[in-house]
Amino acid sequence: MSETSPKLRAELEGIPTYKPGKPAAAVDGPVAYKLSSNENPYPPLPGVLESVTSAAGAFNRYPDMACTGLMNELADRFGVPLTHLATGTGSVGVAQQLVQATSGPGDEVIYAWRSFEAYPIITRISGATDVQVPLTPGDVHDLDAMAGAITDRTRLIFVCNPNNPTGTVVRRAELERFLDRVPSDVLVVLDEAYGEFVRDAEVPDGVELYRERPNVCVLRTFSKAYGLAGLRVGFAIAHEPVAAALRKTAVPFGVSQLAQDAAVASLRAEDELFGRVGALVSERARVVETLRGQGWTIPDTQANFVWLRLGERTVDFAAACERAGVVVRPFAGDGVRVTVGETEANDIFLKAAEGFRKEL
Ligand SMILES: Cc1ncc(COP(=O)(O)O)c(C=O)c1O
């Protein structure tokens, strides 16, 4: 018997494994709250839970692969044709399908950095080359530099708006100027995972921009504002042939019936869910104001998290938060992202941040 192991693709060598936010396991410490994954802290609405429990009785069957009910609901909700919609296993699943549909070896994918940590992974898995364009010193997408990075090998550009992990946004005028500079055969993906948390009127809804621009695709998720992170469903709005390509690159039956039914129930319960989003937005204002009062420099955030650029002190700060009872998301050597969660959790975090600041 040969001793060699199966040959794997060389590209995998340098690719990091996706690192999820640390869970909130309290070990001999105070109750731990999880502020590390930008989740919605509210439990499911009773009606949404009910839709999932009724679907659960039939999970011996495959789900509706075409997500018919959900697609119809989305088409109505966003005023788009059914042929412009595609669903996937979370919006990260759809993002991966987008890269697979556009980019392979020799092709380039541009995105800002630091941004959503799945972008490098899904790009490299496709065999494509990632081109990371540093954020400006104010932690905002540098759209001029991103436009300048386009070559004849560029196939896809991610614009994460608001950006994960900084919460910063790009506004309508600058985004439109950027889109005008992108060649029409390059796909621009507006990743709006946190779009429902935006309160800055100058930040465009990507759906407006996609209508007149066949090379723009909008990526949305049910994981954040709608509170369905554990069910894994996201979607894209894009013109043909992009939406059709997404249906080809989808994992068959990737969106469970539980997820489909919960997503439909959530769209119908938007008023109530968006009331919760409003409460989180108020909490966000309180968290930012308190941190600034403590002396921290915090970029303006339009998402459900805040960013503290702590550099070398990142890991120590995360450890201090954990000792206090909140798990946050450190990016070693760079900064810490903290989700706006339950009021009690935010209070613990703010107290830990104050204590850490005093020690500096
Ligand atoms: C910017 C951004 N896009 C996409 C996602 C993926 O979310 P999901 O796969 O749960 O829809 C996330 C999750 O954290 C995110 O931050």
Contact, 34 vs 349, CB < 8 A?
A: no
Model pTM? 0.96
Q: Which atom of ligand 1 is nearest to the CA of 224?
A: 10
Most informative mutation of 224, 255, 331 for ligand 1 (most atoms within 8 A of CB): 224
**Ligand 1 site, residue 92, Cβ cutoff 6 A:** yes
DSSP 190-205: EE-TTGGG---TTSPP
Q: How far is the CA of 28 from the centre of ligand 1 (A)?
A: 32
Look at residue 257 in the predicted model and tell me its pLDDT: 98
Among 335, 337, 288, smallest CA distance to 309 is for 335
**Ligand 1 site, residue 116, Cβ cutoff 6 A:** yes
CA atoms within 13 A of residue 251's CA, in its CB half-sphere: 14
Q: How far is the CA of 130 from the centre of ligand 1 (A)?
A: 19
For residue 45, the one-letter residue type is L
Q: Can you tell me whether residue 307 is helix, strand or coil? A: strand
Q: Is the pLDDT of residue 1 over 80?
A: no
Q: How far is the CA of 90 from the centre of ligand 1 (A)?
A: 7
Question: DSSP character for 155?
Answer: E
Each residue's pLDDT tens digit, 307-341: 999 999 999 999 999 999 999 999 999 999 999 99
Q: What is the mean pLDDT of the chain?
A: 96
**Ligand 1 site, residue 120, Cβ cutoff 6 A:** no
Q: Where are the beta strands (DSSP E) in 102-182?
A: 108-113, 129-134, 154-160
Each residue's pLDDT tens digit, 93-143: 999 999 999 999 999 999 999 999 999 999 999 999 999 999 999 999 999
For residue 11, the one-letter residue type is E
Each residue's pLDDT tens digit, 27-53: 566 668 999 999 999 999 999 999 999
Q: Phi-psi category of 200—alpha, beta or left, where left has phi over 0 and alpha has psi -120 to 50?
A: beta
Q: Which atom of ligand 1 is nearest to the CA of 221?
A: 11
